[in-house]
Amino acid sequence: MRDKFLSFSLPLIGQEEIDEVIEALRSGWLTSGPRTRQFEENFRNYCNAPAALALNSCTAGLHIALRSLNIGPGDEVITTPLTFAASVNVIEHVGAKPVLVDVEPDTLNISPRGVERAITNATKAVLAVHYAGHPVELDQLQEICSQNHLHLIEDAAHAVGAEFRGKKIGAGSNLTAFSFYATKNLTTGEGGMLTGSAELLDRARILSLHGMNREAWSRYAAGGKWAYDIVEPGYKYNMTDIQSALGLQQLRRFAQMQERRQEIVRQYNSAFEVFPGFLTPVTRPHVTNALHLYVLRLRPQEWSVDRNRFIEEMTARNIGTSVHFIPIHMHSFYRNKYGYSPDAFPVAQQAFEHMVSLPLSPSMSDKDAGDVIEAVLDVRACFAKRRMAG
């Protein structure tokens, strides 16, 4: 057993990132400025997106996406129960009603067939989450939305670097929100990016900075104009140049970091997929998985303990883990407001009860990955049900 606790997902921060941040500090421009504009441009080019807007979080991106599409009271937005609460909270923030649809058993992404059944006259949008870095079935969802005159919003908090049928997530005109939180594949500490059509991003940019006219950010630059105009009440959602400096360097070596994730996932799959007690993550052949999370599922019939005890045993072996996620319908606010029962979304519910996220980060060494594997297999040796000889 390892001596030092392995945190669930430490970011990979090197001297290059530190140097970039120091340069930003020395430049005197700390808030949104030239580095933020450069980060937007570089990220737009990476995704081949029509336009990009840097923000202080993915949550801000989802909120502004709904506002930019004029979704509000009386409207319904279809989304998944297996996501972090932010994906659904923003629907409440704009006064709309979230309508939850169960997930597919293999990818744990929202079911297109379920979406189709959930559409009503009040439905205005589908908010699809690319769970754990595996893209949703975009072509099916896009067709459903087109046929029913609905907006498709993509929550790509897990999906930087993911591809669907050879195209990067974020390459289309759909409003797509990315996260650069500390545990994400690319980090700025806190932060996010919204991509989509240039027309929608123009309004989103105004909403992201108090509702000020488009170029108000440059009023403190050389030659900038002091005058500004509030064209609608907006928010304080802008990204700073300090964050952007970190993001610029992270993006430069993003391919290298993704390669390391792939190596660790291959080691995990090789170690676990041979045992009947484990269900390892899947990747459908027409996608590139961003591999944000490694969600291992325990087949309950093969175990003498439940998932919670499994996590306790991993902690006792100095391995940090997590659970992604407690389904939305289990949280008291949504349970009480909409009257959800625990079995309202059985696929999501069952997956939640048996899932555990293992450490996955490019900062992990081969020894770290080996320690995780050793701990998982040791727990299995102690608590897997014994099979009787035939």
* Cβ proximity of 110 and 153 under 8 Å: no
Among 37, 44, 50, 62, CA closest to 207: 62
Among 358, 376, 348, CA closest to 277: 376
Dist CA 35 CA 239 (whole Å): 10
Residue among 97, 184, 225, 367 flagged as catalytic: 184
Helix axes of 58-68 and 198-208: crossing angle, nearest 10 degrees: 110
Distances (CA, A) of 288 to 137, 161, 163, 250, 282: 12, 8, 5, 20, 11
> What single-letter DSSP state applies at residue 136?
P
Upper half-sphere CA count for residue 371 (Cβ side, 13 Å): 23
DSSP per-residue codes, 98-125: EEE--B-TTT-PBPHHHHHHH--TTEEE
Sign of CA dihedral 345, 351, 355, 357: negative
Q: What are phi and psi of 158, to 5 degrees?
A: -100, 0
Integer distance in angstroms from the first to the last C-alpha of the chain? 34
Give catalytic status of residue 367 as yes or no. no
Q: Which distant-in-sequence residues (6+ apart) come within 8 Å of 86 by Cβ?
A: 58, 59, 62
Give residue 237's Cα distance to chain centre: 18
Q: What are phi and psi of 214, to 5 degrees?
A: -55, -40
Dist CA 79 CA 91 (whole Å): 10
Dist CA 252 CA 14 (whole Å): 12
Side by side, which strands form the sheet with 163-164? 167-168, 163-164, 287-288
Known catalytic residues are 184
